[in-house]
A and B are shown apart, each in its own frame.
Chain A
Amino acid sequence: MSVFEAILLTIITASTPLVIAGLGELVVERSGVLNLGVEGMMIIGAVAAFVGAQMSGSPYLGLLTGIVAGGLFSLLFGFLTLTLVTNQVATGLALTILGLGLSGMIGEGYVSVPGVQLHEIVFPFLSDIPFLGPVLFKQDLTFYLSIALLVGVNWFLFRSRAGLKLRAVGDSHGSAHALGIDVIRTRYLAVMFGGACAGLAGAQLSLVYTPQWVENMSAGRGWVTLALVVFASWRPMRVLAGGYLFGAVTILQFHAQGFGVGIPSQFLSMLPYASTIVVLVIISQNRRATLINTPASLGKAFVPER
């Protein structure tokens, strides 16, 4: 395996959680809800997946635990913002603060316990294709899931009736309600889908990326995910592109440290965060493009008239 191939494989591993959580949040925001709690749901998914895999001995059951935990945790956000119409920004923050604390408490006994790793699935013959084989056909389940999610979300949003309704809810909840669409229910489902995706992304971190439990191991990826959705201007394909871009920056930064570039490691570690800011600035400067794609009801509470 060439060095280039090895780097590419680590980039894929670093990008997968961003793509998965990003697609989840994209659906949530398309429904008009701004859930800033991705970081919290992700870390809950990570700890749940780790503990689940430890208890069952199966990384796949761990993965499932992560997904379920993320989905259930997001319900807390859904209940507050959708049923009790609390401020979405503040509630998302609350979800993150609670998630970081709760995951620390749950994972306390699991620090420095050797983890269960989710191994790659090898497709016979196909994986022998030079270069493409290992990249496309010798990956762990989460990579295939991220691709399936991409195709699925794209199809759902732009080709299915339910997706059309979801976008209607996000663009004008008042009109959607008048048309007889259950706004609250649609949003609950979207929020839970986003939570499940964030949970899966977290599970990838503690089962694939670094198969162990470290407190705060999401390290701001949830927030990067939120920037990613803005970067993607709410388009699934662009989430993929952006996710891989961010993944590449993260990995190249590690390799630069390994090669002993004369820059202190802390400055290299700043790169993913700094580049997120730079990208956000470039994107948001184009006011018209952002306005066209932003779901018009994003972040606004909906109380049905009775």
Chain B
Amino acid sequence: MRIELEKRPQVSKLFGLLSPLLALALALVAGTIMFAVMGKDPVEALDAFFVEPLLEVWSLHELAIKAGPLILIAVGLCLCYRSNNWNIGAEGQFTMGAVAGSFIPIVFTDWHSPIILPLMLIAGAIGGALYAAIPALLKAHFNTNEILTSLMLVYIAQLFLDWLSRGPWRDPQGHNFPQSIDFPPEAVLPAIWEDSGRAHWGIVFAVIAAILAWFVMKYTLKGFEISVLGQSARAGRFAGFSSRKMVWFAFLVSGALSGLAGISEVSGSIGHLQPAISPGYGFTAIIVAFLARLNPLGAILSGLVLALTYLGGEAAQLSPGISAKAASVFQGLLLFFVLSCDTLIYYKIRLVWSRVRGGAA
């Protein structure tokens, strides 16, 4: 049996909408099989993983907490990937944003003022943008592969954070835990509905960013420039767009959003700096962006879906028999199915049963 592709005369709008759903369904089927292989009742496992976290108010708050950074980062990545700039280092920009923003409450411990929090958020965004500026500079001016440089910078950022939280920024009263002092109340991102759960303003930033980015993509010249340069750098040049400037734009925007996500996470849900601040948000956001078909508004929805896999993973740790790693396997599978299903948008897939090549080559 052979699989043949036939190019559709027109891009299929139907599959454009269906493909993420189809991918999700296939990933669920694969997840069911995976749980069955692990010797766990699949229905029970899927229920624990994907349904139970949605049934209680406090866990909906947790969902928002996890979706916030995923959406924020993914929105930036959507713009980046649309313009054909492969920023893979969001995880590092997230980390550096957290570091840059935390600088204020950790270093100026005696400073109490309501402007601390806004300053932290700005510093976080700037920190992320500056860190993303490194691969941008190297790509724009030295022609260096941005995938590899942005990725190497992730490891460097993580080691830097490790050094800070074990070294100079370690809280001497921290009972030997490698972490900074707890942020004072005025440096903590407040909860939205304090009475019912922990969800903080991070998710609001995410939704605002998504709407803004969607507007830019759909209604502005900048958005048009992004798509033109993304599809063909040559065509973009004829239109007078500079792909070098686009590299800067894409990296600075996605870096700033990742940095904002980093400082929001640290000041909103962790409350201090520590060596590990992210369960891989920067990488999972890549899946979020693709599941959203690189549409910023879609990232809200797909961010919630991926956030659910994190919650499911945490819930699974409590019930015996399901590995906590199942969440990341599920995430990987989902990306595979998303990519395969997108093929249906451009091609018809035909199964050819004969061994002979169909038609003249």
Contacts and interface: CB of A to CB of B under 8 A. Distances in A.
Interface of A: 36, 76, 80, 83-87, 89-91, 93-94, 97-102, 104-105, 108, 219-220, 223-224, 226-227, 230, 264, 266-267, 269-270, 273-274, 276-277, 280-281, 284-285, 287, 290, 303-304, 306
A102 B37 CA distance: 13
Given A281-B142, A281-B144, A284-B142, A102 B86 contact: no
B163 A267 contact: yes
A94 B333 CA distance: 8
Most chain B CB inside 10 Å of its own CB: which residue of A76, A85, A97, A303: A97
Contact of A105 (B138, B166, B323, B336): B323
Contacts of B145: 227, 230, 280, 284
20 contacts: A80-B336, A80-B340, A94-B332, A97-B287, A97-B328, A98-B333, A100-B332, A101-B328, A102-B325, A105-B329, A266-B163, A267-B163, A270-B159, A273-B155, A273-B156, A274-B152, A276-B148, A277-B148, A277-B153, A285-B143
A97 B331 CA distance: 8
Interface stretch (B2-10, B179-187, B213-221): B2-10
Given A220-B152, A303-B5, A306-B358, A97 B339 contact: no
Contact of A306 (B151, B333, B339, B359): B359
Given A80-B336, A89-B147, A90-B339, A306 B325 contact: no
Contacts of B342: 86
B332 A284 contact: no
Contacts of A91: 336, 339
Interface of B: 3-7, 86, 88, 138, 142-145, 147-149, 151-153, 155-156, 159-160, 162-163, 166-167, 283-284, 286-287, 290, 323, 325-333, 335-336, 339-340, 342-343, 347, 349, 358-359, 361
Given A97-B286, A277-B148, 17 more contacts: A80-B336, A86-B342, A89-B147, A90-B286, A97-B283, A98-B333, A99-B332, A101-B325, A102-B329, A108-B323, A220-B151, A220-B155, A270-B155, A270-B159, A277-B153, A284-B145, A285-B143
A48 B287 CA distance: 26
Contacts of A273: 152-153, 155-156
Nearest to B283: A97
B241 to A, nearest CB: 21
A284 B144 contact: yes
Most chain B CB inside 10 Å of its own CB: which residue of A76, A223, A226: A223
B302 to A, nearest CB: 14
A86 B3 CA distance: 14
Given A85-B347, A90-B290, A101 B331 contact: yes
Given A89-B86, A266-B159, A277 B152 contact: yes
B9 to A, nearest CB: 15
A277 to B, nearest CB: 5
B24 to A, nearest CB: 15
Contacts of B330: 101
A73 to B, nearest CB: 11
Contacts of A226: 148
B339 A87 contact: yes
A60 to B, nearest CB: 28
B325 A108 contact: yes
Contacts of A287: 143
Contacts of A220: 151-152, 155
Contacts of A98: 329, 332-333, 335-336
A97 B152 contact: no
Contacts of A266: 159-160, 162-163, 166
Nearest to A275: B152
Most chain B CB inside 10 Å of its own CB: which residue of A91, A100, A273, A304: A273
Contacts of B327: 101
A306 B156 contact: no
Given A266-B159, A277-B138, A281-B138, A86 B328 contact: no
B115 to A, nearest CB: 32
Contact of A227 (B148, B153, B160, B326): B148
Nearest to A76: B336
Contacts of A230: 145, 148
A248 B287 CA distance: 35
A108 B328 CA distance: 13
The 4 A-B pairs of least Cβ separation, nearest first, read A98-B332, A101-B328, A266-B163, A105-B325
A196 B207 CA distance: 44
Contact of A274 (B156, B162, B283, B325): B156
B153 to A, nearest CB: 7
A181 B197 CA distance: 62
B151 to A, nearest CB: 5
A276 B145 CA distance: 12
